[in-house]
Amino acid sequence: MAPYEDKPTLTEFGAFSKLYAKVNGKLAGKVNANSKVRMPLAITIRDIAKKAGVSVTTVSRVLNNKPDVSKKTREKVLQVIADMGYSPNAMARGLIWRKTLTIGLVIPDIGNPFFAEVAKGVEHRARERGYSVIFCTTDSEPQREQEAIELLCSKQVDGIIVSLSVESRSVLERLEKQRFPVVQIDRKVPGSNYSAIAVDNVASAYTATKYLIRQGHSRIAHITGDMNTKTAQDRLLGYKEALSDWGLRLEHQLIVHGDFSKGSGILCMEELLSRTPLPSAVFVGNDLMALGAMEAIGKHGLRVPDDVALVGYDNIDLAASLQLTTIMQPKFEMGQLAATTLITSIEKGEPAVGDIILDTMLIERKSSAATVL
């Protein structure tokens, strides 16, 4: 009648764990199957102690590499642990240590290659430092962002890496008051003091737009990301500044609002294709939308870059294959850095200071080339 919900410890139950009789007190003695005493659902430190003929304290000492254990005892205990395949219950430890060695990751969408790559960086670095990662996706909906954070807090994660919409400021403020370790990634919530790992979106959007202008374009459209994010706002800003600096008129009908998804890229591009005269170039808020834009352009029998030049943002894997000119940002490294920053902050017991702004780079490819390669 082994209960299915047993917690695993990667061992089969040995002869040792057939029936559990409480010994340290009232209930010692034989316990039959009908007893109300709950069976231990996995091997515990007590099982190890008994088998090794030592106290739980000693086992605990071995487990935690404390001194004050004779070499002989230590080896004996280690042996039993290996034999039984015991692994300590992280929850029980967490209760005492007030540490779970787990961090939270709150991102809009793991399906977006940008965030997938960021998540990869986070997970890799976290693993190196001995932490696990619980991830939550929010589609940048403030409601879900808050729920995710509350959930992670109740799960007692040691810290959280977040990428939030601008509306989640109050949530962050509450965490700040408790001095809870948080690091922002990709987008910083305005007014929040938590440090962020990001790029200069204004400057790089400016660069992208300037580049198109220099290519001879004067009717340049922009498909924005989710305007609820600082990222999208900043990229729009950079676009506007570039136009302004080069004396180009800002045409509101050339700015359409997407949400960073490929689908929205299609829709937005469709809309732009109905404008007359047609824009000759589009700075798209991210690569995923640029993908959609390409599809829309193709569907209308037009060609990139001949009819419409395109510049994206992110340099996700497919940008190279698609010959999409784009702004490269170091996604994996951002994830790694965020994890490093957060974990250091957790372990030092003090908040990270200052933002880390990483470099971006314009990568020129066919989608915007004046001359076809």
Partner DNA sequence: TTGAAAGCGCTACCAG
Partner DNA sequence: CTGGTAGCGCTTTCAA
Find the shortest distance in angstroms from Cβ 14 to DNA: 15
What is the closest distance, in whole angstroms, from the C-beta atom of residue 320 to DNA in the complex? 48
Choose among its own copies, DNA, none what residue 68 binds, the Cβ cut-off being 5 to 8 Å by kind: DNA
Closest CA to 199 of 109, 314, 84: 314
Q: If binding is defined by CB under 7 A, does position 357 make contact with DNA?
A: no
Q: Is position 71 an interface residue for DNA (rule: CB under 7 A)?
A: yes
Binding of residue 45 to DNA (CB under 7 A): yes
Does position 19 bind its own copies by CB under 8 A? no
Please tell me whether residue 110 binds its own copies under the rule CB under 8 A: yes
Build a one-symbol-per-residue string for 163-182: x at contacts with its own copies by CB under 8 A, - elsewhere.
--------x--xx-xxxxx-
User: Taking the complex as a whole, how short is the minimal distance between the CB of residue 230 and its own copies, in angstroms?
Assistant: 22
Sign of the dihedral through C-alpha 342, 345, 348, 349: negative
Phi, psi of 30 (to 5 degrees): -75, 140
Three-state secondary structure along 27-56?
A: CCCCCCCCCCCCCCCCCCHHHHHHHHCCCH
Q: Residue 81 has which token pair? A: 């642990």
| Contact stretch for its own copies (CB under 8 A) within 202-210, 238-246, 306-314, 349-357 | 349-357
From 52-60, 132-140, 211-219, 278-286, give the range in contact with its own copies by CB under 8 A.
132-140
Q: Give yes or no for residue 145 binding its own copies (CB under 8 A).
A: no
Question: Does the protein bind DNA through residue 56 (CB under 7 A)?
Answer: yes
Binding partner at 113 among DNA, its own copies, none, C-beta below 5 to 8 Å by kind: its own copies
Q: Is 362 left (phi over 0), alpha (psi -120 to 50) or beta?
A: beta
Q: What is the Cα Rg of the chain in Å?
A: 28
> Could you say whether residue 73 binds DNA (CB under 7 A)?
yes
CA distance 37 to 265: 60
Position among 22, 127, 214, 303 found at the interface with its own copies (CB under 8 A):
127
Q: Does 35 bind DNA (CB under 7 A)?
A: no
Subset of residues 193 to 252 that bind its own copies, contact rule: CB under 8 A: none
357's tokens: 């702004």
Pull the structure tokens for residue 265.
């890229």
What is the DSSP-derived secondary structure letter of residue 6?
P
Q: Which residue has the tokens 């809309």?
A: 271
Instruction: Kindly tell me which of 155 and 214 has the beta carbon lying closer to its own copies.
Output: 155
- Which of 11, 16, 46, 318 binds DNA (CB under 7 A)? It is 46
Q: Which does 14 bind (CB under 5 to 8 A by kind): its own copies, DNA, none?
A: none
At residue 194, the 3 state secondary structure works out as coil
Per CB under 7 A, the list member of 12, 18, 26, 277 interacting with DNA is 26
9-17 contacts, C-beta under 8 A, 24 or more apart: 9/42, 9/43, 9/84, 9/85, 9/86, 9/87, 10/85, 10/87, 11/43, 11/84, 11/85, 11/86, 12/85, 13/43, 14/83, 14/84, 16/43, 16/47, 16/50, 16/51, 16/84, 17/43, 17/47
Residues that bind DNA (CB under 7 A): 22, 24-27, 36, 38, 40-42, 44-46, 53-61, 63-64, 67-74, 88-89, 92-93, 95-97
